[in-house]
Amino acid sequence: MAQFRFKALEEMLNRKPDEIVREENLVSDYFGMLVFDKAKMKKYLSREAYKAVTDAIENGTTIDRKMADQVAQGMKAWAIENGATHYTHWFHPLTDGTAEKHDAFIVHGTDGGVIESFSGNLLSQQEPDASSFPSGGIRQTFEARGYTAWDPTSPAFISETTLTIPTIFISYTGDALDYKTPLLRALQAVNKAATEVCQYFDKNVTSVQANLGWEQEYFLIDEALFMARPDLMLTGRTLMGHASSKDQQLADHYFSSIPTRANRFMQDVENEAYKLGIPVKTRHNEVAPNQFEFAPIYEEANLANDHNQLMMDIMQKIARKHKFRILFHEKPFAGINGSGKHNNWSLTTNTGVNVYQPGKNPKSNLQFLTFVVNTMQAVYDGQDLLRASILTASNAHRLGANEAPPSILSVFLGSEVSNMLDLMEEAVVDRKMTPDEKTALKLNIGRIPEIILDNTDRNRTSPFAFTGNRFEFRAIGSSANNASALIVLNTLVANQLQKFKVAVDKLIDNKGVKKDEAIFQVLKELIIKSKPIRFNGDGYSEEWIKEAKKRGLSNVNSVPEALEAYLKPDSTKLFAKQGVLNESELRGRVEVEYEKFVMKIQIEARVLADMAINHIVPTAVEYQTMLLENVKHLKDIFSPEEYEEMASGRLELIREIGHHVSEIKAKRKAMTETRARANKIEDVHQRAKVYNGEVRPFLDDIRDHIDKLELIVDNEKWPLPKYRELLFVR
């Protein structure tokens, strides 16, 4: 056993960083070379087919069969020229990760051989066997059919030798079975609502696009050490392991020099990402040892999210090439920082204005404030839904720990924007303003850009922070599909903007209030109403928990409880009204989340039980036997007095080991019984509650005894790589 452990270490120490060969000298030369982007479409498509696709991308028009055929021919020609032999519809089912089923281009030819073929039909729609994807009961087994349908807004690309076509995944009845369908609907909802509000300020605005810039955190672990840890292999996190004496106390990893092996891995990933048109820009060491981050330049949200999923896939594949494994789990190691995926989110108009970017004059600043205030109100009203969208079995370990946003939602605006809102709250009164008051207010509003430019105050403890020209939603887990959070965020903002418009129009139409003043008045109401969610202080502090409670903000850490927010009548109404998810889709989705939660805890419980009984208990007993032998020999050789003195410490150790072993065995048995009882509960919501409240605590309890044993059992005998090896050997 011990030998295996050291062999794994030895293997690791002998590794050499891979040499990287860049495709070309300049990234700009090969960026997007494997993407069927506009430049390639122009080359491979007829003018009318090109127009059909670009219209679909820009204006959401549909592409008819004839055009689809033409596009398919062009795509096929390009793909085959670039080495593709297969094509696939690529989608985001409600599992962790993406799905693809490759088909070769070949069909029978007329002379008994085969020819390469691809058609508009195959491009536009396919029917994968959907019965094994989770649907939460939407798709009854008698109607197991599911369809994938082409999403022309996210360009096709070549992955190895397969032409990969991004698609949505829906049931026979048109219900969404994936993340992308409702994401596209939510983006459409926010587009519509934001456009209408923007028209108060600029009639030329005809569409608004949501942007996403994700920051992906991850751990890199050597493959040999990873393989020696069944818990990492099967659950993505360590279920046991005593803290290393040194970990992140000295903050000496964050932004430090990137280890060469890791750097080579990153270069290789970037190389592949660039070919696929993913604009990766930033790489750095994160806070925890062996923790790193990648971030791209932001893009349109749907495309950016496809790119994030693709990137996670590339990272996993390239990691193997470099004899690493990636951990995307939110909390792979107890006691040190976990990983998140910040979502930087903003809205830009077709006229090129970012509505979260303070403008150059009072008018555009009023637009800026309108969007900031409405977003704040949306987060306030939707705090429970936002939490439900990001809380999972794995992310629950991270949230509320002292390194990640708490499970209380709040919005950080920075003191300058906050002061501005305070000013508006005081200045605007629900009567006609005097011209002087109006001028003063406009002057103040006009000052925002200077203020923000030298505003360096960056709060890292807020789950939802304004960062100068965007909001950064930081509570998202590193393993998540961003769509889960983006669906909720964009739906909430769309809904709030709609309400805002109704309120403003009412003042204008019914009371004859002038537009600007009507906007001021409604904003004032919202500023007052949403005040409890505005918080610029330390989100990790104990005081905030108390303060938040006083303010009436919710604080939920349990996944099953958090998920209930989705099914409240207000929520089902909201998603239906915005056309994002109908009630049955929503129910199905929540069902899937409950199932996933139960299964993840169930797997962890099984793995822990196996490791405790197969790895830990035998090792501890072996060491205990050694000590017992030793005590026997002492007794044979030494005088009773001398024996007494020498044996007492050893006997204590023997008892201590005995105690931990008995506790592990007893707790494992109790855990198994609890699971058996829980598994009999028909209703998955109730089952999830028992798993959360009763099964989960055993994981910590058992681990505690194992970690204590790790400290006393002979190091040579310990069968698993320890934290200090997993995190520091490079």
> Which residues would be at the binding site for Mg ion (CB under 5 A)?
342
- Distance separating alpha carbons of residues 247 and 237, to the nearest angstrom: 17
- Least distance to ligand ADP, CB of residue 465, Å: 9
- Per the DSSP assignment, residues forming a β-bridge with 211 are 300, 346
Q: Look up residue 362 and give its two tokens.
A: 């009072």
Kindly give, in sequence order, each residue whose CB lies less than 8 Å from that of residue 581, ignoring residues fewer than 6 positions away.
176, 182, 185, 487, 575, 589
- Least distance to ligand ADP, CB of residue 208, Å: 13
Which of Mg ion, ligand ADP, none binds 134 (CB below 5-8 Å, type-dependent)?
Answer: none
* Minimum CB distance to ligand ADP smaller for 390 or for 504: 390
- Least distance to ligand ADP, CB of residue 36, Å: 24
- Least distance to ligand ADP, CB of residue 341, Å: 11
- Least distance to ligand ADP, CB of residue 468, Å: 8
* Minimum CB distance to ligand ADP smaller for 299 or for 593: 299
The DSSP 8-state label assigned to residue 246 in this structure reads S
* Minimum CB distance to ligand ADP smaller for 239 or for 280: 280
Give the residue from 169, 188, 189, 191 showing the smallest Cα distance to 180.
169
Residue nearest to Mg ion (CB): 342
* Minimum CB distance to Mg ion smaller for 261 or for 474: 474
- Least distance to Mg ion, CB of residue 215, Å: 5
Which of Mg ion, ligand ADP, none binds 469 (CB below 5-8 Å, type-dependent)?
Answer: ligand ADP
Count the neighbouring beta carbons within 10 Å of the beta carbon of residue 470: 20
Which of Mg ion, ligand ADP, none binds 211 (CB below 5-8 Å, type-dependent)?
Answer: ligand ADP
Which of Mg ion, ligand ADP, none binds 598 (CB below 5-8 Å, type-dependent)?
Answer: none
* Minimum CB distance to ligand ADP smaller for 106 or for 453: 453
- Least distance to Mg ion, CB of residue 405, Å: 12
The residue ranges that bind ligand ADP (CB under 6 A) are 211, 213, 215, 282, 295-298, 344-346, 354, 469-470
- Distance separating alpha carbons of residues 466 and 411, to the nearest angstrom: 8
Kindly give, in sequence order, each residue whose CB lies less than 8 Å from that of residue 6, ignoring residues fewer than 6 positions away.
none
Which of Mg ion, ligand ADP, none binds 93 (CB below 5-8 Å, type-dependent)?
Answer: none
- Least distance to Mg ion, CB of residue 303, Å: 20
* Minimum CB distance to ligand ADP smaller for 205 or for 553: 205
* Element holding 724 (H helix, E strand): helix 723-728
- Least distance to ligand ADP, CB of residue 720, Å: 34
- Helices 260-275, 301-321: inter-axial angle, 10-degree rounding: 130
Which of Mg ion, ligand ADP, none binds 162 (CB below 5-8 Å, type-dependent)?
Answer: none
- Distance separating alpha carbons of residues 55 and 712, to the nearest angstrom: 68
* Minimum CB distance to ligand ADP smaller for 138 or for 280: 280
3-state secondary structure of 293: strand
* Minimum CB distance to ligand ADP smaller for 493 or for 702: 493
Count the neighbouring beta carbons within 10 Å of the beta carbon of residue 708: 16
3-state secondary structure of 473: strand
Q: Where on the phi/psi map is residue 680: left (φ > 0), alpha (ψ -120 to 50), or beta? A: alpha
Give the residue from 721, 719, 708 showing the smallest Cα distance to 615.
719
Give the residue from 216, 279, 212 showing the smallest Cα distance to 471.
212
Half-sphere exposure of 69 (CA within 13 A, CB side): 2
- Least distance to ligand ADP, CB of residue 705, Å: 40
Residue nearest to ligand ADP (CB): 213
Q: Look up residue 518 and give its two tokens.
A: 């009507």
Which of Mg ion, ligand ADP, none binds 439 (CB below 5-8 Å, type-dependent)?
Answer: none
Which of ligand ADP, Mg ion, none binds 415 (CB below 5-8 Å, type-dependent)?
Answer: none
- Least distance to Mg ion, CB of residue 472, Å: 5
Q: Look up residue 692 and give its two tokens.
A: 């959360």
- Distance separating alpha carbons of residues 481 and 474, to the nearest angstrom: 14
Count the neighbouring beta carbons within 10 Å of the beta carbon of residue 652: 10
Kindly give, in sequence order, each residue whose CB lies less than 8 Å from that of residue 242, ignoring residues fewer than 6 positions away.
707, 708, 710, 711, 722, 723
**Phi, psi dihedrals of residue 556, rounded to the nearest 5°:** -125, 130
Q: Where on the phi/psi map is residue 540: left (φ > 0), alpha (ψ -120 to 50), or beta? A: alpha
- Least distance to Mg ion, CB of residue 357, Å: 17
CB-based contact 73:195 (threshold 8 Å) = no
Pairing of strands 471-473, 341-349: antiparallel
* Minimum CB distance to Mg ion smaller for 238 or for 459: 459
* Minimum CB distance to ligand ADP smaller for 261 or for 470: 470
CB-based contact 282:295 (threshold 8 Å) = yes
- Distance separating alpha carbons of residues 371 and 49, to the nearest angstrom: 37
- Distance separating alpha carbons of residues 414 and 448, to the nearest angstrom: 12
* Minimum CB distance to Mg ion smaller for 342 or for 696: 342
- Least distance to ligand ADP, CB of residue 30, Å: 21
Give the residue from 156, 158, 149 showing the smallest Cα distance to 184.
149
* Minimum CB distance to Mg ion smaller for 433 or for 476: 476
- Least distance to ligand ADP, CB of residue 284, Å: 9
* Minimum CB distance to Mg ion smaller for 342 or for 600: 342
* Minimum CB distance to Mg ion smaller for 304 or for 695: 304
Rg of the chain, C-alpha, whole Å: 29
Which of ligand ADP, Mg ion, none binds 297 (CB below 5-8 Å, type-dependent)?
Answer: ligand ADP
- Least distance to Mg ion, CB of residue 338, Å: 16
* Minimum CB distance to ligand ADP smaller for 244 or for 357: 357
The amino acid at 675: R
CB-based contact 591:137 (threshold 8 Å) = yes
- Distance separating alpha carbons of residues 483 and 490, to the nearest angstrom: 10
* Minimum CB distance to ligand ADP smaller for 175 or for 215: 215
- Least distance to ligand ADP, CB of residue 281, Å: 7
Which of ligand ADP, Mg ion, none binds 213 (CB below 5-8 Å, type-dependent)?
Answer: ligand ADP
Half-sphere exposure of 696 (CA within 13 A, CB side): 19
Count the neighbouring beta carbons within 10 Å of the beta carbon of residue 650: 14
